[in-house]
């Protein structure tokens, strides 16, 4: 299939590479040139703009940083909508706000172009291994085209519904729930630490039994050892998603005391030694510091 791919960060590069390896013809575009080079060597063509990456494509993927970035590569003279042929499909994989996704959907409808939002859970190495969990939402006809492609990129594709923005909602809720797992583990390790029980041993006991799942294992180990670098998912990105979740919930009229608590943790974490580039699990430093157990990171 003829595919455009826009946004070659760590996630985008891994996904684009898998599309090339699956035999698709790719035109890729990235704001800076460097990340496109390995894909060129693997057989992709390099486009000079989002518009050119979209030209002639059956499907164009975007995987960029935030609301502003997705708007920048979609709209305007050099945007993908200017390049896409009628009836083509845009698959938006970025973690963006529900409001931005809604706006995206409306403007694609006006332009006669399909839109599927397909958000992902998993880090770059997971993406490379085609093990992502993907949440897809869009009109039936659009999903019919998107799902077989997405199935080449992850271990499962969940169909959220017909409204593309709800894939973004599920992503934000998922990250919200992960942030609470982190805070929970921080508080649990603080109690253990003060009680003379090795936090790592606590984590092993619980994640070997009742909390036998990846989030608790991954973050439990990081927090018990206070090892917040290198980042798997950067604190500043986690903070951005927390902000999106709070804004989305506010627009819906839903108070979220847990997200509010985590919001304050993101801010306080800076005062306890964490920075933008630490792993977002560093917000657990707050619970540890309040118990007198933090080691400056």
Return the residue of 263, 279, 280, 281 that touches its own copies, per CB under 8 A: 263
Decide if residue 233 touches its own copies (CB under 8 A): no
Pairwise CA distance, residues 8 & 22, whole Å: 18
For residues 18 and 150, what is the distance between their CA atoms, to the nearest angstrom? 11
* Positions in 242-261 near its own copies (CB under 8 A): 245, 248-250, 252-261
Instruction: Tally Cβ neighbours within 10 Å of residue 54.
Output: 30
Q: Which span sits near its own copies by CB under 8 A: 36-44, 45-53, 222-230, 289-297?
A: 289-297
| 277 part of the interface to its own copies, by CB under 8 A | no
Stretch 150-179: interaction string toward its own copies, x if CB under 8 A: ------x-x-xx-x--x--xx--xx-xxx-
Give the separation between CA 7 and CA 36, rounded to whole angstroms. 9
CB nearer to its own copies: pick between 56 and 215 = 215
The answer to whether residue 225 forms part of the interface with its own copies (CB under 8 A) is no
| Residue 184 makes contact with its own copies by CB under 8 A | yes
Q: Which of 58, 66, 151, 187 binds its own copies (CB under 8 A)?
A: 187
What contacts 280, CB < 8 A, 6 or more positions away? 179, 182, 231, 233, 234, 235, 237, 238, 239
Q: Is 42 helix (H, G, I), strand (E, B) or coil?
A: coil
Q: For residues 124 and 8, what is the distance between their CA atoms, to the nearest angstrom? A: 11
The yes or no reply on residue 219 touching its own copies (CB under 8 A) is no
Phi-psi region of 122 (alpha: psi -120 to 50; beta: other; left: phi over 0): left
Catalytic residue among 171, 217, 236, 240: 171
Contact 199, 209 (CB under 8 A): no
Assess 73 for contact with its own copies (CB under 8 A): no
Give CA–CA dist 227/189, Å, rounded.
13
171 is catalytic: yes
The catalytic site residues sit at 171
By CB under 8 A, name the binding residues for its own copies: 98, 121, 133, 135, 156, 158, 160-161, 163, 166, 169-170, 173-174, 176-178, 180, 183-184, 187-188, 190-192, 194-197, 201-202, 205-206, 208-216, 245, 248-250, 252-261, 263-265, 267-268, 270-272, 286-287, 289-292
């Amino acid at each position: 299939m003829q595919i455009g791919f826009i946004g070659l960060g760590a996630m985008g590069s891994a996904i684009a590479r898998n599309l090339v390896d699956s035999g698709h013809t790719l035109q890729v575009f990235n704001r800076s040139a460097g990340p496109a080079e390995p894909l060129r060597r693997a057989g992709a063509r390099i486009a000079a703009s989002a518009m050119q990456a979209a030209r002639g494509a059956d499907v164009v993927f975007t995987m960029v940083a935030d609301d502003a970035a997705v708007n920048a590569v979609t709209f305007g003279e050099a945007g993908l909508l200017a390049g896409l042929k009628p009836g083509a499909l845009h698959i938006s994989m970025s973690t963006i706000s529900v409001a931005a996704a809604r706006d995206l959907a409306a403007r694609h409808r006006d332009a006669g172009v399909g839109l599927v939002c397909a958000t992902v859970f998993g880090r770059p190495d997971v993406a490379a291994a085609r093990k992502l969990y993907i949440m897809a939402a869009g009109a039936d006809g659009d999903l019919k085209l998107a799902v077989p492609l997405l199935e080449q990129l992850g271990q499962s594709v969940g169909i959220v519904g017909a409204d593309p923005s709800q894939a973004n909602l599920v992503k934000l809720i998922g990250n919200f729930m992960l942030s609470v797992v982190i805070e929970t583990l921080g508080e649990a390790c603080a109690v253990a630490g003060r009680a003379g029980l090795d936090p790592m041993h606590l984590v092993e006991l619980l994640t070997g039994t009742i909390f036998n799942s990846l989030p608790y294992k991954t973050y439990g180990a990081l927090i018990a050892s206070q090892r917040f670098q290198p980042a798997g998912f950067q604190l500043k990105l986690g903070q951005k998603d927390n902000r999106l979740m709070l804004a989305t919930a506010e627009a819906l009229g839903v108070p979220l005391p847990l997200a509010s608590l985590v919001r304050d943790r993101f801010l306080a974490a800076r005062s306890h030694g964490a920075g933008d580039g630490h792993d977002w699990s560093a917000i657990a430093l707050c619970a540890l510091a309040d118990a007198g157990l933090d080691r400056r990171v």
